[in-house]
Structure 1
Amino acid sequence: MDITFIGFILFVCLILMLTSGIWVALTLTGVSVIGLLLIENNSIGLLLGTSSWSAMTSWSLTALPLFIWMGEILFRTRLSQDLFEGLSPWLSKLPGKLLHVNILSCGIFAAVSGSSAATAATIGRMTLPELKKRGYSEKMAIGTLAGSGTLGLLIPPSIILIVYGVSAEVSIARLFLAGALPGLVLIVLFMLYTVIWTLLNKESNNTADEKTYTFKEKINSLKKLIPIMILIGGVLGSIYQGFATPTEAAALGVAGALLLSAMLGSFSWAGLGGSIVGAVKNSCMLGLILVGAHFLTLAMGFIGIPNALAEWIATLGLSPIGLIVYLTIFFVIMGCFLDGISVIVLTTSVVLPMVIQADIDLIWFGIFLVLVVEMSQITPPVGFNLFVIQALTGKNIFYVAKAALPFFFIIASAIVIITLFPNLVLYLPTLMSS
């Protein structure tokens, strides 16, 4: 049977399964089974067993449930309130004032949660009511939260970078390093846009927030940031200095999060039990998706689709930049219907051969991929951050999407920047390897 016809059948099956509400993991497995049947491969059970074992026995995956658990523990602390109160005095003179607290709080919390949805939900619970009470533009408050919430995907330790590292078989520690500078660039771009918007829309942002702070009050406010900064420094510093692997750093992070929750007076046995249940649920969901994705990768290899696609792309004569443009459009469309992790595990087996053939660095491509997935997090109809913020505000999903639209284009501009200046991504990983 012609490989193009097989690919078309599998694509139709994929769309039908996803739109009918079948779990992503079961969809991936189902498409794999159909593909193997079409090429008359009778070793489906053996291949599923083998691929499932190899998918779930990677030592790198151990970091995944640990970082998820760390985020779940911190989700139940008063961390977001301390971040808000600690940052507010230092940003009171900057145009946009507390809107920048939204951005920086998300950036800091992203460095310990690793999750986009958890970042948006945790920070949003604290900042949105406070910004509304002080008279800030509701649309801008929602927009900054939606955009900055996506930082949970990029700023290490990122759950999605761990998934990509396992799928692409690249160093997770180097991926974490690669995400640091682009994450800072994105924060600066968000803050710069907020400053410009505030200066151009003073009449739309009439706040009653005229409180001034003494230098002593600013210094005292830093005390509230010390615990979280120590945790971030401990987790990321242990990786970057070579003292610990990402898995060992994740274990340190869990211990630190438990200590931090006790210091903040937020520790309870009920909260600990809830964090364990939440971590187990999320880890099992991701594990099942990874099993399905690994099986799909194996099936695609037997069918020959990745090689056929790579050869087809080669015949187009696309430059690496041209390939990146095509892939950006492709991933944004995929992200309109799937969550970020599903996009990565679903497409890695097909896309990576093209990327390797185009001689694109896999570390750089991982950061590019995460940025594109960030864009999809604030793109309807399946932008996870949009759903989180809709639940927090009760606003229509399209109202939230419209508020987040400028940040969609800001993330797109960050992709242009790392494409023009790839050393923003590769500089720190190169230092690590040298």
Structure 2
Amino acid sequence: MLEISLVAILLFVGLLAGSVWIGLSLFATGYILLSVFKPNIPMDIFSSGVIWGALIPSPLLSLPLFILMSEILVAAGLGRSLFSGLAPWLGRLPGGLLHVNVVGSTLFAAVSGSSAATTAIVGKVSLPELAARGYDRQLAMGSLAGAGTLGFLIPPSIIMIIYGVIAEQSILELFVAGVIPGLSLAALYMLYIALHQTLSGAQPKPDRPSWAERLRGLRDIGPVAGLIVAIMGALYMGIASVTELAAIGVLGAILIAAVMGRFSTAAMIRAGRRAVRTSAMIGLIIIGAALLNSAFSFLGIPKAIAGHIAGLGLSPFALILVLLAFYALLGMFLDGTSIIVMTLPITLPLVTAAGYDPLWFGIFVVVAVEISQITPPIGFNLFVIQSQTGEGIGTIARAALPFFGLLLVFAVLLAIFPGLALWLPGTLR
């Protein structure tokens, strides 16, 4: 079985090195493995059944809707409104306007569900503004890279939808479970920024905004805050399904664009096209991973790996630490969606057998997958910041290194204190 696993890894890496799309690489790896090692399986019937089964879960309908909502808000120029609205309130804190990266990312994460989109929309405005005011460039890039990962953790989250479908967990409960960890991680980022700037003494002289400027700031972020309240209220009170919640979000995003005077047919068409491309990419990854995971099941690989790990006699906490290291390593080569759909059939039975709640594991996996967004060579947040700054990936990765460490620390804290994820959804039951 080890030999087959090595063949699968080499084949998949070879396809990626040949610039084959991730979804097609996953599909081809599974197909070739079955053709070589299980040629008796009727591939045409098998593959079509896997594809259909991977795409029919109704919660997946919410995924393209949340993506469309995010793209509409990007087209509406939300980033500038977030910066102008938050700057008068955050400028005098230790760390100053660097906190806009964190708070802005937190707010946009609550209406997007995408880490890369969060990084792009906040960074497009914040990085030039912070540079013009003389803030530490390394910390500005690093805090943006780290805070952008909140797009995965704070609901609505695209990654959580995928986890919920595969793990057969309530997506609404997953969304609620992500609230406290998301806010806690944002607070941890802000604490680090405040301590760094205080100890280094590098903070520029803060502005002294008037109360009139602060009130204008509230007006700028008011529409977004209203959409967040509507989504989170419907989420917590359970008055809408996930798909209905996504539809409400799209309608709210269109209304925000109209209220801000940035609604146009051309902008909406561009947002729709980008949403279709992103949704198609994720759909292809889901299909490819479904075939690969089915191939693994037929070959007995998950059972063999689970048996090997069980034979190590690890304690539950040690198992979680091993999985955290495993996900951090995978994050160097794969995106978050691929990691979730590839590994969950193997890792979820292990952690549930160790006594962990699958709802908690969903939040833990999301935190672990967040790490993949800021680890080279395939860290999407790093690529987004590179496109905005022109800096090398190595430079941006070094800037993000402290936030990589904070993510690891937070994942361990989540394992020690599972109530961070389980308390709030417990109030719904």
Bin of the TM-score, shorter chain as denominator length: over 0.9
Measure the CA separation in 2 of the matches of 1:387 and 1:39. 39
Whichever residue aligns with residue 403 of structure 1, its letter is A
Q: What CA distance in whole angstroms lies between the structure 1 residues aligned with 2:40 and 2:332?
A: 33
- 1 CA distance for matches of 2:382 and 2:77? 24
Whether the 8 Å contact between 1:236 and 1:249 is mirrored in structure 2 is no
Give, as a single letter, the amino acid of the residue that structure 1 aligns with 2:405.
F
C-alpha separation in 2, matches of 1:363 and 1:41: 38
Q: Deviations over 1:156-208 (max 9, x none)?
A: 00111111111211111111111111101111111100110011111x44x2x
Contact kept? 1:307, 1:353, Cα under 8 Å: no
5 Å-filtered alignment, 1:401-416, equals 401-416=397-412
Deviation of 1:41 (Å): 2.9
Instruction: Show the counterpart of 1:161.
Output: 160
What CA distance in whole angstroms lies between the structure 1 residues aligned with 2:115 and 2:217? 26
Give the Cα–Cα distance (whole angstroms) in 1 for the partners of residues 256 and 217 of structure 2: 18
Helix, strand or coil at the partner of 2:72: helix
What's the CA shift string for 1:57-98, capped at 9, x where partnerless?
A: 110100000000000000111321121111112122211110
The Cα offsets for residues 361-416 of structure 1, whole Å up to 9 and x where unpaired, read as 11111111111111121111111100100110011111111111111111111111
Structure 2: distance between partners of 1:15 and 1:258: 41
CA distance in 2, matches of 1:357, 1:305: 18
Q: In structure 1, how many angstroms separate the alpha carbons of the residues matched to 2:260 and 2:216?
A: 17
Structure 1 CA distance for aligned equivalents of residues 66 and 225 of structure 2: 17
1:369-384 equivalent positions in 2, closer than 5 A: 369-384=365-380
Question: What residue in structure 1 maps to residue 334 of structure 2?
Answer: 338
**Partner letter of residue 219 of structure 1?**
L
- The 10-residue stretch of structure 1 (102-111 or 36-45) with the greater mean CA deviation from structure 2: 36-45
Choose which of 4, 7, 31 in structure 2 pairs with 1:9.
7
Query: 1:255 deviation in Å?
Result: 0.6
- Which of 218, 221, 226 in structure 2 is aligned with 1:225? 221
Whole-angstrom distance in 1 between the partners of 2:22 and 2:160: 19
**Which runs of structure 2 are paired with 1:65-214 in the superposition (5 Å)?**
65-202=64-201, 204-205=202-203, 207=204, 209-214=205-210
| 1:418 matches 2:414 | yes
- 8 Å CA contact retained: 1:309, 1:354: no
Selected match of 2:247 from 221, 226, 251: 251
Corresponding residue for residue 355 of structure 1? 351
Give the CA deviation at 1:279: 0.7
State the AA in 1 paired with 2:315. Answer: S
Q: Hey, what's the Cα distance between the residues in 2 that align with 1:220 and 1:33?
A: 58
SS in 1 for 2:135: coil
- Provide the aligned length of Structure 1 versus Structure 2: 428
Counterparts of 1:253-402 in structure 2, within 5 Å, are: 253-402=249-398
Secondary structure in 2 aligned to 1:112?
A: coil
Q: Distance in 1 between matches of 2:206 and 2:92?
A: 10
Cα contact 1:306–1:353 (8 A) shared by 2: no
Asked if the contact 1:300–1:349 (Cα under 8 Å) also holds between the matched residues in 2, the reply is no
Kept in 1: contact 2:92–2:206 (CA 8 A): no
- CA offset at residue 239 of structure 1? 1.8
Greater alpha carbon shift after TM alignment, 36-45 vs 122-131: 36-45
TM-score for both structures, normalised by structure 1:
0.96
Instruction: Give the Å deviation of 1:216.
Output: 4.1
**What secondary structure sits across from 1:265 in the alignment?**
coil
Q: 2:411 is paired with a residue of what secondary structure?
A: helix
Rounded to whole Å, the distance in 2 between the matches of 1:182 and 1:75 is 25
Conserved 8 A contact 2:142-2:401: yes
Any unmatched runs of 5+ in structure 1?
A: none
Q: Match of 2:221, as an amino acid? A: L
What residue is the counterpart of 1:24 in the other structure?
22
How far apart are residue 341 of structure 1 and its match?
0.8
Between 1:382-391 and 1:89-98, the stretch displaced more is: 89-98
Contact 1:92 1:98 in 2 (8 A): yes
Q: Which amino acid aligns with 2:21?
A: W
Q: By how many angstroms is 1:45 displaced?
A: 1.1
Distance (Å, rounded) in 2 between the aligned partners of 1:220 and 1:391:
31
Contact 2:92 2:207 in 1 (8 A): no
Identity of aligned residues (%): 46
Q: Deviations over 1:88-111 (max 9, x none)?
A: 121222111101111100110111
Aligned AA (1:185): S
Does the CA-based 8 Å contact 2:66-2:246 persist in structure 1? yes
* Structure 2 gap ranges (5+): none
Inter-partner Cα distance in structure 1 for 2:109 and 2:33 = 39
Give the whole-Å Cα distance in 2 for the aligned partners of 1:93 and 1:8: 54
2:234 paired residue among 222, 226, 238 = 238
TM-superposed CA distance for 1:215, in Å, is 3.4
Which is worse superposed, 209-218 or 82-91?
209-218
Single out whichever of 326-335 and 247-256 deviates more from structure 2.
326-335
Deviations 1:305-364 (A, max 9, x none): 111211111111111111111111111111101111111112122222222222221111
Whichever residue aligns with residue 313 of structure 2, its letter is G
**SS of equivalent residue, structure 1 residue 244:** coil
- Specify the alignment match of 2:34 in structure 1: 36
Tell me how large the CA RMSD over aligned residues is: 1.3
Q: Indicate how the Cα distance of structure 1 residues 355 and 335 shifts in structure 2: closer, same or farther if over 3 A, else same.
A: same
Which whole-Å CA distance do the structure 1 matches of 2:353 and 2:303 have between them? 10
Give the partner amino acid of 2:47. Answer: L
